[in-house]
Amino acid sequence: MKNIKTTLTAFALTMTSLGVSAATSNIDIEAGKPGAKIPDTMYGLFFEDINFAGDGGLYAEMLINRSFEFPQTLYGWKTFGKTEIRNDGPFERNPHYVRLNPAGHRVKYSGLDNTGFFSVAVNGGEEYRFSTWARTPDGKPAKIRVELVDPAADEESVAIASKTIDITSKEWTKHTAILRPSRDIKEGGVLRIFLVKPDETPVDLEHVSLFPVNTWRGHENGLRRDLAQALADIKPGVFRFPGGCIVEGTEFGDRYQWKNTVGPVENRPLNLNRWQFEFPHRFYPDYYQSNGLGFYEYFLLSEEIGATPLPVLNVGIVCQYENPGESALVPMDSLQQYIDDAVDLVEFANGATDTKWGALRAEMGHPEPFGLKYLAIGNEQWGPGYPERLAPFVKALREKHPEIKIVGSSGPYPDGDDFDYLWKEMRKLDVDLVDEHYYRNEDWFANGATRYDKYPRKGPKVFAGEYACHGKNHKKFNHYNASLMEAAFMTGLERNADVVEMATYAPLFAHEKGWQWRPDLIWYDNLDSHLTSSYFVQQLYSVNKGTNVLKTTLDGQPAAGLEGQNGIYASTVWDSDKNEYIVKVANISGEPQTLNLNFKKLPKKVKLTTLTTTLMSAPSDKMARYYDYQDLKTTEQAIGDNGKYTVEIPAESFAVYKFK
């Protein structure tokens, strides 16, 4: 913050000492000439299971280590009485299960508690679906009790919901019970299961699960409703998944393999989550991926939020930060399975239901194709090993699925030798888009709005696949000022719609108790979620994306915070569906400004009648690390039709002006 504040103060002082009135900007808009079409894929979302975004976050499963497959088999569980772990269960890829043996006396119990993700939290009165696979191995009927327990309760009973389930079969059978807690547990809750007295016979339990009934769209293997709704509310054009570094893995064995994430959830193998240990000061030894949220669920979510799915696959390179040099590379003669994974994925998403992978999609509940159009191969790779490996993917996909657009990578940084090298290689390989990543400070974003003005208009398009303004002086907490810089920068994405086909902020989610990386778009705990000002910037762009760019200049130049432009950034779109002109303006200066919006060559038949202004202004407590940004105001006024409009934009504001 200091730097920007300093810059802005210096700017204000300079303006004052120069006697520049603070300030009037004449913004010219070529209203009669709709330019480049805004791609349907603007503006999007990037999901990665970082910060407990998947398990413990969007994926609504409330129990940790539900299949007893963590390396420490009972991680997340506390057992009591006589229990044992066995490994000849019904799901071959998740063979462990727990046996509850009789406790040895009629007043004693055997059972276990699950501590959930940072505890089990529930809302009183809501319904929760408990399920487990169970059997009574010696064939005698038995009963288990399932309870939601609030150990801190000062009420009479610590159990605030309870159900008894009869286990009568020797065969593994799925049992469910709906729990309706009588009151909230905000912190410290557990899910308890125990043999009911007289506990004369053992019971085996496997894949023990608890979901809210009220998930997004009511899916049983579902997503948290509030979080999925927040995604839908952005009206995203594209949804990139499942990472990020997750795709690469720390070792080849723990790279993301989509084939392990489809089919019955009970049999999807656990995967290490590399964000567990990535930052030793934010070490979460219990961070794994259950893969309950897998590629089927990602495709379905994309469809349900109206976004084009964009899966990212491993290119045969493991994380290059963690595996120096050649050790990161799969030998070329072992690459085929990675290429097959890519080709098979297209079949899983789009193939007919009589193909192997198309049939699995249908069996999982979606016979219609998911309409996959894009596939990214590789995340943040660098060096010649990347194009060398990408080439056979491109060949295979072009041959078998020429309809799929291929996204290549330009590495982890938005400039420099590695970046230039990869862009050159991506052009040679003729990929359709190149993924760029930029986590940079305020100055970079403020100075970057012309970045794409200079890009070649031919060849691969740009996918700004991961970006966020990392504020220098507030320890990367979400911060209004960083969002303002993003808003300013994004006028450059919009102006260059003919080059930038997609853009996705990163990362998307963070659990307040389990984050590794910030800033993030949406924060939450187990019950509530909070939207950041960066979220609203993304949303304001996305819901106002229009259909065509209109040339917009300030004193003849792109309005991009250039010298003499008083910290003003602007871009305009025409929306041919809604008959609206939409002007977005960021004022990053410390002064309010007068903007003369001059619609040039406004078609004669067009009369602008209404101006709707949505204004995002700096909060009074500018240093606050905060989210739940609410300071968005929308006003509407009737206007004349002379094509010239004057508006006042407050200091440090982002405004969307819509002319109907």
Residues between 587 and 646 that touch ligand AHR (CB under 6 A) = none
Q: Which of 566, 565, 549 is nearest to 557 (CA)?
A: 565
Q: Assess 506 for contact with ligand AHR (CB under 6 A).
A: yes
Q: Point out which span in 30-38, 103-111, 237-245, 590-598 binds ligand AHR (CB under 6 A).
A: 237-245
CB of 476 to ligand AHR, least distance (A): 12
CB of 249 to ligand AHR, least distance (A): 11
Asked if 272 and 288 count as a contact pair (C-beta separation under 8 A), the reply is: yes
Q: Assess 358 for contact with ligand AHR (CB under 6 A).
A: no
Sole binder of ligand AHR in the list 89, 181, 358, 507 (CB under 6 A):
507
| 652 is known as an active-site residue | no
Count residues binding ligand AHR (CB under 6 A).
13
Which one, 468 or 540, has the nearer CB to ligand AHR? 468
Listing DSSP states for 438-453 in one string gives EEE-HHHHHH-TTGGG
Asked if 158 and 151 count as a contact pair (C-beta separation under 8 A), the reply is: yes
Residue number, nearest CB to ligand AHR: 244
Binding mask 461-500 for ligand AHR (x = CB under 6 A): -----x----------------------------------
Cα 421 to the chain's mean position, in Å? Answer: 29
Paired strand residues for 598: 28, 644
Q: Rg (Cα) of the chain, in Å, rounded?
A: 27
CB of 292 to ligand AHR, least distance (A): 20
Q: How far apart are CA 143 and CA 658, in angstroms?
A: 63
Tokens 């590629």 -> residue: 295
Q: How far apart are CA 132 and CA 157, in angstroms?
A: 24
Sole binder of ligand AHR in the list 204, 380, 435, 580 (CB under 6 A):
380
Helices (H), 408-551: 417-429, 442-447, 480-495, 533-543
Q: Assess 51 for contact with ligand AHR (CB under 6 A).
A: no
Binding mask 538-577 for ligand AHR (x = CB under 6 A): ----------------------------------------
Asked if 518 and 476 count as a contact pair (C-beta separation under 8 A), the reply is: yes
Q: Assess 244 for contact with ligand AHR (CB under 6 A).
A: yes
Structure tokens at 173: 């059978």
CA angle 284, 285, 289 (to 5 degrees): 90
CB of 495 to ligand AHR, least distance (A): 25
Sole binder of ligand AHR in the list 30, 48, 61, 206 (CB under 6 A):
48
Listing DSSP states for 313-380 in one string gives E--SB--TTTS-GGGGBPPGGG-HHHHHHHHHHHHHHH--TTSHHHHHHHHTT--S-----EEEE-SS
Asked if 388 and 332 count as a contact pair (C-beta separation under 8 A), the reply is: yes
Which one, 143 or 437, has the nearer CB to ligand AHR? 437
CB of 255 to ligand AHR, least distance (A): 13
Q: Assess 412 for contact with ligand AHR (CB under 6 A).
A: yes
Q: Assess 243 for contact with ligand AHR (CB under 6 A).
A: yes
Q: Assess 379 for contact with ligand AHR (CB under 6 A).
A: yes
Q: Assess 245 for contact with ligand AHR (CB under 6 A).
A: yes
147, 347, 380, 486: the active-site residue: 380
Sole binder of ligand AHR in the list 4, 50, 134, 364 (CB under 6 A):
50
Tokens 């499942």 -> residue: 242
Which one, 323 or 598, has the nearer CB to ligand AHR? 323
Cβ neighbours of residue 177 closer than 8 Å, sequence gap 6 or more: 129, 130, 131, 146, 163, 165
Binding site for ligand AHR (CB under 6 A): 48, 50, 243-245, 379-380, 412, 437, 466, 506-507, 517
- Residues noted as catalytic: 380
